[in-house]
Amino acid sequence: MNRRQPGSHRGALRKIARRAMLERGLLPDFPPKALEELSAMERSAHAWQGPRRDLRHLLWCSIDNDDSKDLDQLTVSVEMPGGMLKILVAVADVDALVKGGTAIDGHARHNTTSVYTAAEVFPMLPEGLSAGLTSLNPGADRPAVVVEMTVAYDGSLAGSDIYPAAVRNHAKLAYNSLAAWLEGAGPVPEQVARIEGLGENLRAQEKTARWMKYFRHLHGALSLETVEASPVFEDDELKGLRAERRNPAKDIIEDFMIAANGVTARFLESRGFPSLRRVVDKPKRWDRIVEIAAEHGRRLPEEPEARALEQFLQKEKKADPERFPDLSLAIIKSMGPGEYIAEFPGGEAVGHFGLAVKDYTHSTAPNRRYPDLVTHRLLKAAMAGGRPPYGAEELKELAAHCTEKEDAARKVERQVGKSAAAMLFEGRIGEQFDAIVTGASAKGTWVRLPDPPVEGRLLYGFQGADVGHRVRVQLVHTDVERGFIDFRRAG
């Protein structure tokens, strides 16, 4: 039983989150100058600069989390002659308001990302922008950068284009309710039923996303599926952790954004422009991935090979779907994190091992990620026939800085998530649980419970434990302030 006073959980976690932000070199608050700039923007009328295609009549909709306020992208499908489909992705033109050299841009450039903690969101841009003026909110006319993709039956791209446009969001949809309808497990969302033709449009989007996913995985993209935990609050009291899994609605956005990011990278390359690429090189611990496959009775080549790994994953997902998220997590931990690098025309692209693509950038979330805003500035300069707004050395420094701050933000989110889990487990010392090893290095050994999906450190009995191993553990200690959940190996 939780020993804390009811209603005190969210406040305590907010304090922990703010402290963790500062300790990691992130700024939880906006400087006064940035708020002054925001007030000036909100008071004035904003004219969109340059010509834009008027696409406000299309059945644009946003698909995001139930509580999302910073809407970065809209999607719509358009039927083409011959049975092919055209997918359009509209991405918020944040640069239309947020200019380089401003205090708002300076804060965004420092943090480089919004930080989503269990108790509070620390947006990269002031909410008046990220959830207001630059968010693709329902019923609002907005400037956007549109990525247009013609998709063939086999999921390959038959053509693409990028251009500025004016768009309007006709329906704000949520992942879970939309997915339930797509899977036949829930009613049609009210907004989908209200807008003529939107249901058919969404069905077409879902079909096209499946084509695209099939094509990517045929070429070695990895079928990875992890479980994320979201806190459940009632009147600021933490009641539990809810497991979030992938679903068809999330797949629509994931597959379209992956494709749009590839189109963006190739567009910049074709115009002789540099880019900030998101890369995952060969797995850091391929030897451990080979061992994991052997433990499941499968054989992988000695050198990293995406297609062979994908075949192994597909077989395991079919054989044991319930435990597949645990296997996915072990593979992800062994692969190592992604990073940003500056890519220049004519250079050899590192690519993204997990997605099996050579050309990949981040461009579809400029309200919440600074690399995306940088990419949009490069895109707009390329479309206008101008010069790159960033020099080579500045881009290299930005890439390293964004990687560093993204890692810091991820650690803050993980720390606050662990503090929330520690709150729930304060009264369960001595209990035993099944777990999977998620990390093993000189820094320590880590395990994750399946339900609720909580991660903690294996302090005692970690000898011989490696990523992917299943162990029985006993809870021995929790520390809410530091986010510690400590286990010993049972028996």
Q: Which residues lie across from 458 on neighbouring strands?
A: 487
In order along its 491 residues, the chain shows pLDDT tens digits of: 345 554 588 999 999 999 999 999 999 999 999 999 999 998 876 666 667 899 999 999 999 998 899 999 999 999 888 778 999 999 999 999 999 999 999 999 999 999 999 889 999 999 999 999 999 999 999 999 999 999 998 899 999 999 999 999 999 999 999 999 999 999 999 999 999 999 999 999 999 999 999 999 888 888 888 878 888 888 888 888 887 778 999 999 999 999 999 999 999 999 999 999 999 888 889 999 999 999 889 999 999 998 999 999 999 999 888 778 888 888 988 888 899 999 999 887 788 888 878 899 999 999 999 999 999 999 999 999 999 999 999 999 999 999 999 999 999 999 999 999 999 898 899 999 999 888 887 888 989 888 788 889 999 888 888 888 889 999 999 999 988 999 999 97
pLDDT of residue 45: 63
- Measured distance CA(121)–CA(198) in Å, rounded: 31
pLDDT of residue 1: 38
> Which residue stretches of 274-369 are H helix?
286-295, 306-319, 324-335
- Measured distance CA(107)–CA(116) in Å, rounded: 17
Largest CA-CA distance found in the chain, in angstroms, rounded: 70
Q: By three-state DSSP, how is residue 88 classified?
A: strand
- Measured distance CA(150)–CA(31) in Å, rounded: 44
Q: Are 200 and 179 in contact (CB under 8 A)?
A: no
Nearest to 60 by CA among 83, 77, 44: 77
pTM here is: 0.90
Residues in CB range of 240: below 8 A, 6 or more apart: 231, 232, 424, 452
- Measured distance CA(326)–CA(360) in Å, rounded: 27
| Gyration radius of the chain's alpha carbons | 23
pLDDT of residue 5: 54
What is the DSSP secondary-structure string of 396-434?
HHHHHHHHHHHHHHHHHHHHHHHHHHHHHHTT-TT-EEE
DSSP state of 490: -
pLDDT of residue 67: 86
Q: Are 128 and 42 in contact (CB under 8 A)?
A: yes
Q: Are 121 and 115 in contact (CB under 8 A)?
A: yes
Q: Are 134 and 92 in contact (CB under 8 A)?
A: yes
pLDDT of residue 46: 66
Residues in CB range of 196: below 8 A, 6 or more apart: none
- Measured distance CA(208)–CA(11) in Å, rounded: 44
Q: Is 79 left (phi over 0), alpha (psi -120 to 50) or beta?
A: beta
Backbone angles phi, psi at 351, to 5 degrees: 85, 180
Domain boundaries along the sequence of the chain: 50-276+359-395
- Measured distance CA(277)–CA(134) in Å, rounded: 24
- Measured distance CA(117)–CA(415) in Å, rounded: 9
Integer CA distances (angstroms), 305 to 310, 311, 319, 398, in order? 9, 10, 22, 30
Element holding 102 (H helix, E strand):
none
- Structural tokens at position 269: 């390359």
Tell me, what amino acid is at 346? G
Q: Which residues lie across from 143 on neighbouring strands?
A: 166
- Measured distance CA(174)–CA(200) in Å, rounded: 17
Nearest to 75 by CA among 164, 171, 8: 171
Q: Computed from CA positions of residues 175, 181, 184, 187, in that sequence, does the dihedral angle turn out positive or negative?
A: positive
Integer CA distances (angstroms), 15 to 3, 96, 108, 336, 479, in order? 18, 34, 22, 30, 15
Q: Which residue has the tokens 């797949």?
A: 251
- Structural tokens at position 132: 């207001």
- Structural tokens at position 45: 């009328």
pLDDT of residue 404: 98
Q: Which residues lie across from 207 on neighbouring strands?
A: none
- Measured distance CA(349)–CA(339) in Å, rounded: 13
Tell me, what amino acid is at 284? K
Tell me, what amino acid is at 187? P
- Measured distance CA(342)–CA(142) in Å, rounded: 30
- Measured distance CA(277)–CA(369) in Å, rounded: 13
- Measured distance CA(176)–CA(193) in Å, rounded: 16
Q: Give the distance, in angstroms, between the CA of residue 142 and the centroid of all CA atoms in the same chain.
A: 23
The full 3-state SS of 116-137, as one line of letters, equals ECCCCEECCCCHHHHHHHCCCC
The b/e string for 476-487 (b: 16+ C-beta within 10 A; e otherwise) is eebebeebbbbb
